Structure 1
Amino acid sequence: MSTSAAPSRVKVWLMAARPQTLPAAVAPVAVGTGLAVHEGMFTPLPALAALLGAVLIQIGTNFANDYYDAVQGADTPDREGFTRVTAGGLVEPASVKRAMWLTFAAAILIGTSLVAVGGVPILVIGLLSVASGIAYTGGPYPLGYHGLGDLFVFVFFGVIAVTGTFYVQAAATLASGFPLGVPSGTVPMAALLASLPVAGLSTAILVVNNVRDREEDRRTGKRTLAVRFGYTASRIEYLALLALAYVVPALLLWRGFDLVVLLPLLSLPLAARVSQTVLTETGGDALNPALERTGKLLALYSALFTAGLALG
């Protein structure tokens, strides 16, 4: 009789960090930096610090989700998603919680360099991002358990992440000293528009996750939007988020950007293929690959969008 070997410690921690979710951290920084290049405000060190901070916040949030979903009973043996190390007994809960705090502490440490450039607005954004990463599944009112997860991802991994990345580079270029407010020209309308595709596609990843987990979440009391409103509403939400992503480049073209800003439209075939799965399937066998492909769609779209903004 053969037995499967236990995963190595390195592999276990990689499972907890969930590197497949990192496009959601890298994409907004790339797009915000692409716009900074377009506006002649690219500043390498703030851009790099923003990237490292975003990756650490994403990993810290993944550790928080792994820990809090396990201790609150939301992860059960029937879960169809990727393995969670706390619920699976691969790592002691205290160790995962410690890793969460250490990762968020590292993000805050890196963020101090951004605060020196961006002032009070970046301080507020950084602290709110860390607090929300914990509050997504932890604390007295977990956002993800009350149907607020979609809004959290849209705002923090989309709008704030893109505009914040652009802001620190613009502040380094336009501002002097330690800004107490938002200096003029550091958050233009173009930055807000450019944030919407990333916000939409990042949230679409969560929608697939919640459609896949709907039945388990319903049994464990996790009231996601998929649980509250059902499969049809979630599929409409998914399509609406993708539509938002593909409308924005046309709006930027209309606002005077170069034709190359339409480069993200090259990712439409992938969007169409993954949408067919999301619109027809509910099980993990089909939706786990769809979840990964939506992450790849975010990565591809963001790479094309970044190039279109920078080259334009």
Structure 2
Amino acid sequence: MAATCCNFTQASSSFKKLHENIQLQSYFTRCHQRSACSVEKDFHRRYGGRLQVERWHQYQHVLCARGVELSPSVNEDVGEESEEDISKETLIWRAIKLPIYSVAFVPLTVGSAAAYLQTGIFSARCYFVLLASSVLVITWLNLSNDVYDFDTGVDKNKKESVVNMVGSRKGIFIAAYSCLALGFLGLTWTAVVERNLRSILFLVCAIICGYIYQCPPFRLSYQGLGEPLCFAAFGPFATCAFYLLHASARVKNHFPLSGTVLSASILVGFTTSLILFCSHFHQVEGDKEVGKMSPLVRLGNKKGAEVVKGAVFMLYALLVAFGLIKALPLTCISLCTLTLPLGNLVVRFVEDNYKDKNKIFMAKYFCVRLHAMFGVALALGLVLARNTKFTSWPILS
């Protein structure tokens, strides 16, 4: 009797699975005339409570073998559907690009920390005026970039483009250059108050790099020169300018440009350029259409992933090299080394997803995390080195 009961249970289970298969086959037969996206969405609604997506994939080959016609691009269509269904709040968040504003915070913080290392002085007023001014300048970069990309057609399908969302190119253009004017006014005012007009030269150079990067008639980003310009603008120019500005009026002697701040600015420029490089991965097709020869258009995504790996390795190699020549204090080397897991995360993510346009979109945000954390570690290391015997050697006095 026990054996009979066992056989009956197994048979019942088999009939249950057979019934489930028949239900699924009947369902897909009725729905195969619909779009692939509708099929998957209805499937999740009807069967999501009883079956996981993984089990559905197991049934696919069975159904296909029985003659049920499934769309070969179902997964691609689902990805497209998800792009279509992006909420307005998500588009606004992407348009604001709040994480990208770390490129204003990091050069200022590292430059101020380098100044504190030499003087022991920190001016909160100077710091926050410079931060607000820098945010305005970055806002100009973002808005004007959307305006000029709208003109060339590269952003015609970009839903998070501010121009596409607002529907007014002229309004965004005016807002962009208003931000630039206010930001530059704040930077100039700080330079006058701190009595260091040399810094204005660095700031003007940084803004010029931003202009020729994207604005006509130059548009050097379309020639694949965006990364070198980004490195120069946010690295040596901006970081050294903030270093010279911060608390320089309180230093009686002529404030020198040191090897420490120059080394730190190179690392800041390196991580900033990595953000820009990774932002091209999901835009290769659109860039090709309008003739924008970004590095990823020239190299391809596979080689681009190798470049990212080499760049992250070079970042930490430079960090160690600057420590060995005593351009950076040991505290900086120790703290920045703690960001290695983030660097590894960037490399692994790009290597695993460079073929997937929908996933690789997130690569630039992983680079933002690395940029921000590396910059904070670098600045904290400079601040802590104030209590050590580390001395920074001057380059220009």
> TM tier, shorter chain?
0.7 to 0.9
1:152 aligns with 2:229: yes
Q: Which runs of 5+ in 1 are unaligned?
A: 177-182
Task: State whether structure 2 residue 148 is matched by structure 1 residue 71.
Answer: no
Match 1:283 to one of 318, 335, 356: 356
Say whether the 8 Å CA contact 1:198–1:245 is kept in structure 2. Answer: no
Instruction: Indicate the RMSD between aligned Cα atoms, in angstroms.
Output: 2.6
Measure how far apart 1:118 and its partner are. 5.2
- Aligned residue in 1 for 2:261: 191
- Residue equivalent to 1:108: 184
Distance in 2 between residues matched to 1:232 and 1:285, nearest whole Å: 16
Corresponding residue SS for 1:129: helix
Q: Which of 136, 140, 145 is the aligned partner of 1:60?
A: 140
- 1:264 aligns with 336
**Cα deviations by residue, 1:211-260 (Å, 9 ceiling, x for unpaired):** 22122211211111222233344334323432333234323433445432
Tell which has more relative contact order, 1 or 2 (C-alpha 8 A, sep 6+).
1
Counterpart of 1:24?
103
1:191 shift after superposition:
0.8
Give the aligned partner of residue 346 of structure 2: 274
* Distance in 1 (alpha carbons) for counterparts of 2:87 and 2:357: 23
Shift of 1:308: 1.1
Alpha carbons of structure 1 residues 125 and 187: separation in structure 2 relative to 1, 3 Å: same
State the one-letter code of the partner of 2:278.
V
**282-291 or 193-202, which moves further after superposition?**
282-291
Normalising by structure 2, report the TM-score.
Answer: 0.68
8 Å contact from structure 1 (residues 212, 282) kept in 2: no
Q: Specify every segment of 5 or more residues in structure 2 that has no aligned partner in the other structure, as ranges.
A: 1-84, 386-397
Q: 1:17 to 1:102 in 2, by over 3 A?
A: farther
TM-score of the aligned structures, taking structure 1 as reference length: 0.85
Which amino acid in the other structure matches residue 293 of structure 1?
F
Alpha carbons of structure 1 residues 260 and 120: separation in structure 2 relative to 1, 3 Å: closer
Q: Secondary structure at the match of 2:218?
A: coil
Q: Give the AA of the match of 2:216.
A: G
* CA deviation map 1:161-210 (0-9, x unaligned): 2111111126324467xxxxxx5x52111111011221111111111111
Q: Please name the residue that 2:112 is paired with.
A: 33
Matched, 1:121 2:192: no
> Do the aligned partners of 1:33 and 1:42 also contact (CA within 8 Å) in 2?
no
Query: What's the offset of the Cα at 1:130?
Result: 3.1
Using a 3 Å threshold, how does the CA distance of structure 1 residues 26 and 32 change in structure 2: closer, same or farther? same
1:140 aligns with 2:217: yes
Partner residue, 2:18? none
1:229-248 aligned within 5 A = 229-248=299-318
Aligned length: 296
- % same residue: 21
Q: Is the 8 A contact 1:196 1:245 kept in 2?
A: no
Q: Which has the larger radius of gyration?
A: 2
